């Protein structure tokens, strides 16, 4: 068991406003650690930092490895004409609170539509893990998937957020279009309630095995699902567990909530 990292996920990270939930945090952990164990090197990038919840998770997991973590966001929430940048400042403060000072030279403020792969590769090298959680309309997903693909190492993974979420139907269209247009070069290997994980098809069997054998994912039912020509492990997290977890967090027992996911 990764006890220190699990404590970070279930306790420390809960102080940060944001969206990544424990199941996906455990998938990030399992995939990044498997890459590290197997010498699959590369940078890590995220589109859609918000206040840093998943950014700090990526930083924490990759501590001690050579990987650098790059974050991209508009950072325009609450921005005023006098130049105040509350979203960015809160993100920086969150880093201090967690003891993970933001590496500001690896943070890009701006619209991904204006970025080129070289802007990312030039800072962190080719990427082994790319989290896409920025704009949720079709044109954003198209832009961001192309950007991620152009930075990706052969063994790189793209994690698409909010797939199959009825609140964001165009994300689902974007990911499906991406896989279909790649004509088998990329395939999905894992899905959770919120995210879909894809890689180049040559690495599908490797990542499929990583997910199947990951100790931190034993709490989930691994449901074999087919999606656009590939086998996907759909990690099912029963409603009963989600309810117990939420109750524990709301009653101030987040330090113990980790046990629900063993
Ligand atoms: C759902 S939030 C990300 C949540 C975050 N990953 C977390 O774990 O809490 C989406 C973020 O994407 C950013 N965003 C939206 N459109 C963008 C664009 N075109 N380029 C860069 N960032 C964008 C927003 O500013 C917002 O902070």
Q: Given this model, what pLDDT does residue 1 score? A: 62
Q: What share of the chain is helix, strand, coil (3-state, %, to 5)?
A: 50, 20, 30
Assess whether the C-beta atom of 19 lies below 6 angstroms from ligand 1: yes
**Nearest protein Cα to ligand 1, atom 22:** 73
Please tell me the total count of domains within the chain. Answer: 1
Domain that holds residue 122: 3-261
Q: pLDDT grade, residue 250 (50/70/90)? A: confident
pLDDT at 249: 86
Q: How far is the CA of 50 from the centre of ligand 1 (A)?
A: 5
Burial pattern 29-46, b for ≥16 Cβ within 10 A else e, equals bbbbbbbbeeebebbbbb
CB neighbourhood size of 89 (10 A): 12
- Counting residues of the chain whose pLDDT is more than 90, the rounded percentage is 85
pLDDT of residue 2: 87
Mean pLDDT of 6-22: 93
Burial class from Cβ neighbours inside 10 Å (0-12, 13-18, 19+) for residue 250 reads exposed
| CB of 50 shorter than 6 A to ligand 1 | yes
pLDDT of residue 223 exceeding 70: yes
Per-residue confidence (pLDDT) for residue 59, from 0 to 100 = 98
- pLDDT value of position 81: 85
Task: Please check the confidence at residue 257 and state whether its pLDDT lies above 90.
Answer: no
Q: What digits encode the pLDDT tens for the residues 83-116?
A: 788 999 999 999 999 999 999 999 999 999 999 9
Q: Looking at residue 83, what is its pLDDT?
A: 78
Looking at residue 19, which CATH number applies to its domain?
Answer: 3.40.50.150
Closest CA to 50 of 134, 119, 120: 134
- Mean residue pLDDT of the chain comes to 95
Mean pLDDT (whole number) for 119-145 = 98
CA dist 32 and 19 (Å) reads 19
pLDDT value of residue 169: 97
Cβ of 159 below 6 Å from ligand 1: no
Task: Write out pLDDT tens, residues 190-218.
Answer: 999 999 999 999 999 999 999 999 999 99
Nearest atom in ligand 1 to the alpha carbon of residue 19 is 9
**What is the reported pLDDT for 82?**
84
- C-alpha 151/C-alpha 127 separation (Å) is 6
What is the pLDDT, as a whole number, of residue 151? Answer: 98
CB count in 10 Å sphere of residue 14: 16
d(CA 222, CA 235): 5
pLDDT digits (tens, 9 = 90+) for 28-49: 999 999 999 999 999 999 999 9
230 falls in which pLDDT band (50, 70, 90)? Answer: very high
Distance (Å, whole) CA 29 – CA 43: 15
DSSP string, 123-186: HH-SEEEEEE-S--SHHHHHHHHHHHHHHEEEEEEEEEETTT-TT-HHHHHHHHHHHHHTTTSE
pLDDT band at 254 (very low <50, low <70, confident <90, very high): confident
Amino acid 251: pLDDT: 87
Ligand 1 centre and the CA of 39: distance in Å?
30
Q: What is the pLDDT of residue 252?
A: 84
Residues 203-226 as b or e (16 or more Cβ within 10 Å = b): bbeebbebbeebebbebbeeeeee
């Amino acid at each position: 068991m990764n006890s220190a990292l699990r404590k970070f996920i279930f306790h420390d990270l809960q102080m940060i406003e944001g969206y990544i939930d424990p199941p996906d945090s455990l998938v990030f952990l399992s995939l990044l650690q498997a890459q590290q164990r197997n010498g699959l090197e590369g940078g890590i990038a995220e589109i859609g930092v918000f206040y840093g919840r998943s950014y700090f998770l990526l930083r924490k997991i990759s501590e001690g490895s050579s990987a650098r973590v790059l974050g991209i966001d508009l950072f325009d929430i609450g921005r005023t004409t006098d130049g105040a940048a509350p979203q960015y400042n809160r993100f920086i403060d969150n880093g201090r609170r967690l003891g993970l000072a933001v590496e500001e030279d690896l943070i890009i403020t701006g619209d991904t539509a204006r970025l080129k792969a070289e802007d990312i590769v030039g800072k962190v090298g080719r990427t082994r893990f790319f989290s896409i959680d920025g704009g949720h309309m079709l044109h954003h997903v198209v832009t961001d998937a192309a950007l991620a693909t152009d930075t990706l190492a052969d063994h790189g993974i793209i994690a698409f957020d909010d797939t199959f979420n009825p609140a964001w139907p165009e994300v689902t269209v974007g990911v499906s279009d991406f896989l279909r247009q790649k004509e088998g070069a990329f395939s999905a290997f894992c899905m959770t309630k919120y995210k879909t994980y894809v890689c180049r098809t040559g690495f599908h069997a490797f990542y499929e095995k990583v997910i199947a054998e990951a100790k931190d994912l034993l709490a989930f039912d691994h449901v074999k699902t087919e999606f656009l020509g590939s086998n996907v492990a759909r990690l099912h997290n029963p409603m009963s567990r989600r309810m117990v977890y939420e109750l524990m967090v709301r009653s101030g027992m987040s330090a113990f909530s980790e046990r629900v996911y063993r």
